[in-house]
Amino acid sequence: MSQATIQDWTVAAVSLRFDNKQDVRYRVYREGNRHFQEIRDIDDRPIHTLELPDGMKLDTTSYEVLLRYVLLDVVAA
C-alpha cells in the first residue's frame, strides 16, 4: 500500500512537566483508509507512531493535542 501525506513534517516544541520542553517533528499520513501520526526527535530518531482514531482524522488541532499526550506517555514516563 502506498502512503499519502496529509500533513508534512512539522517541528514543534512540546511542553512537558516542570518547564521541560522537547523539540520534535511529526507528520500525518494515510495508508489505505488508516491515518497515522509519526513522531521523531529533531535528530530523526523514531519516538512513536500512532494510528489516529476516526474522529481525529484531518483535524490539525487534534494532531497537536495528540502529540503532547503521546510525548507525556511515551517519553516523559
Per-residue pLDDT of the chain (77 residues; tens, 9 = 90+): 688 998 899 898 887 777 778 889 999 999 988 989 999 999 999 999 989 887 666 667 778 877 887 877 776 55
Estimate the share of the chain in helix, then strand, then coil, as percent rounded to the nearest 5. Answer: 25, 50, 25
Q: What does the domain layout of the chain look like in residue ranges?
A: 3-74
pTM (2 decimals)?
0.79
Distance CA 27, CA 64 (A): 11
